[in-house]
Amino acid sequence: MIVEQLYTNCLAQAAYYIESKGEVAIIDPLRDYQVYIDKAYANGAKIKYIFETHFHADFVSGHIDLATKTGATIIYGPQTTTNFPVHVATDGEFFNLGELKIQVIHTPGHTLESSCFLLFNKENKPHCLFSGDTLFVGDVGRPDLLGGIITKEELASHMYHSLKKLTTLPDDVILYPAHGPGSACGKNIGKETFSTIGEQKANNYALQPMSESDFIKAVTDGIAPAPAYFFKDAKLNKEGYSTYDEVIQNGSNPLTLEDFKSITSENTVQIIDTRFADFFELGFIPGSLNFGLNGQYAIWAATIVDLHQPIVLVCKPGTEEESIQRLTRVGFDNIKGYLKGGFDTWQNANEKIDMVISISPEEFALDSKHNPKAVIIDVRKPSEFASGHVAKAASMPLSDISDRHSELEKNAEILVHCAGGYRSMVAASIFKKNGFTNVKNVWGGYGKIKEEIIDLVEPK
């Protein structure tokens, strides 16, 4: 028996590979499907099933392409309707995989079709639970993604009863969720990517004894708004999408400087620069947005840029394939290509460039003290801001800046920071794209700022 977690840090997402006697099941595959085929082929095995815990909202699954390439059956839980062939399982249905069995446990709450998959070993003993977005380490799935169909309170009620099913499992059953820390599919997912049912019964707030009404309040309070792309990805996963191969082929188009300038002359085309912030700040093509490959690149790109907007890429040479691949995972399907040679091609042609000024925390402390007109923008999440912030700072979460930058004067001195520096450079690029001329990014973010002598607001 092989059970392997295939974890993708930049998406905080876990797919799973299960193999027994030459038969393979894949749980919640990413869109770039070839890795699963290669793994099975290397082991002399064949992919038999593709289990989907629900219609994912934060990434585009590889279920359709993988089924097309392998002939494997796609399996969803009860209450599933799709535009492509699937097996809609009944609650409690078993599937044989070599010497193993996999049982479907219908667990509505995150979505209506949400289901967990319980793996039994060859001794017919429950071994592990693939819990999707129903149960995380320290948290449960958010119940607010079906607005207009069912309320978050109704979904939370379903979740309350679904979790009762899971708490009857043996304590030593391994818990394998679909997401880890950093995912927006839960409120506050723990730092580990797996656990046990017993550990979660002891430590997960949502599994503690409480009334249904108290549970509903606990899981619905304090949920940050879902990124807009969540609803688009869920629709793609339910209705179908362009093939991965087609999107990759279209995106892998090296553009000459002339072609790049011609394409980007259209106002509808967005330039995405995937270089690290340390390089981006020193010079970039005007109008570019910076989503560095060293962070949650695809998540933030999808949060800020419409998935269907035509885009072109500026990459460090050699990272073009990675830049394209990671964008396809969250549903970008209109990548026109990348500038051949990257930013150097633009700069060497003496084309106009823009820059972002970065300052140290020490400089920030002096600036904020001696320039009363400086506008301090904290782009962290509201929960982070509430845990401590600069006294004069305004909270403007990164996900809101595109809609809220008009609240600020374009000639004002903007001092922008996040927790460590990644999000603030994204924010700085948004401000610059929208005509702000005096934008300063604070190196090290709030983590370093709070070490300076500066007025802070901290929880009592």
The 10s digit of each residue's pLDDT in 310-356 is 999 999 999 999 999 999 999 999 999 999 999 999 999 999 999 99
Taking Cα atoms as reference points, which of 331, 174, 355 lies closest to residue 242? 331
Kind and range of the H or E run holding 375 = strand 375-378
CB 429 within 8 A of CB 288: yes
pLDDT the model gives residue 435: 96
Assign 453 a pLDDT band (cuts: 50, 70, 90).
confident
Q: Give the model's pLDDT for residue 369.
A: 85
Which residue type sits at 443? Answer: W
Q: Are 347 and 386 in contact (CB under 8 A)?
A: no
Q: Which residues is 116 bridged to in the sheet?
A: 105
Residue 247 backbone phi and psi in degrees, to 5: -65, -40
Q: What percent of the chain has pLDDT over 90?
A: 94
What residues contact 290, with CB distance under 8 A and at least 6 apart? 273, 275, 277, 280, 284, 425, 426, 428, 429
For the sheet with 195-196, list strands across it.
94-97, 100-106, 115-120, 126-132, 174-177, 195-196
**Residues 146-181: pLDDT tens digits?**
977 899 999 999 999 999 999 999 999 999 999 999
What are the residues whose beta carbons fall under 8 Å from the beta carbon of 220, sequence distance 6 or more? 143, 144, 152, 153, 156
Question: Which pLDDT band, with edges at 50, 70 and 90, does 280 fall under?
Answer: very high
Average pLDDT of the chain is 96
So what's the pLDDT on residue 147? Answer: 74
Q: Residue 423: helix, strand or coil by DSSP?
A: helix
Given a contact cutoff of 8 angstroms between Cβ atoms, the answer to whether 176 and 26 are in contact is no
pLDDT given for residue 370 in this prediction: 85
Residue 95 has pLDDT above 90, yes or no: yes
Token pair 């379903």 is at which residue? 158
pLDDT at 349: 98
Count H helices and E strands in the chain, helices first.
17, 26
pLDDT of res. 71: 98
Which strands sit side by side in the sheet containing 87-88, from one edge to the other? 2-8, 13-20, 23-27, 46-51, 73-76, 87-88
pTM: 0.92
Residue from 226, 84, 70, 195 nearest 129 by CA? 195
Q: Which residues are paired to 29 by β-bridges?
A: none
What's 85's DSSP letter? -
Please state, as a whole number, how many other Cβ atoms lie within 10 Å of the Cβ of residue 197. 24
Give the pLDDT band (50/70/90) at residue 12. Answer: very high
pLDDT exceeding 70 applies to what percent of the chain? 100
pLDDT at 460 over 80: no
CA distance linking residue 374 with residue 368, whole number of Å: 6
Average of per-residue pLDDT across 298-305: 96
Q: State the first-to-last Cα distance of the chain, in angstroms, to the nearest integer.
A: 51
Q: Which domains, from first to last, does the chain contain?
A: 2-231 (3.60.15.10), 242-348 (3.40.250.10), 357-457 (3.40.250.10)
Which amino acid, residue 433?
K
Long-range contacts of the stretch 37-45 (C-beta < 8 A, 24+): 37/66, 37/69, 37/70, 43/2, 43/19, 45/19
pLDDT at 455 over 80: yes
DSSP H/E element including 279? helix 277-280
Task: Report yes or no: 456 and 388 within 8 Å, Cβ to Cβ.
Answer: yes
pLDDT at 222 over 90: no
**Which one, of 77, 164, 167, 157, lies nearest residue 109 by Cα?**
157
The pLDDT of residue 108: 98
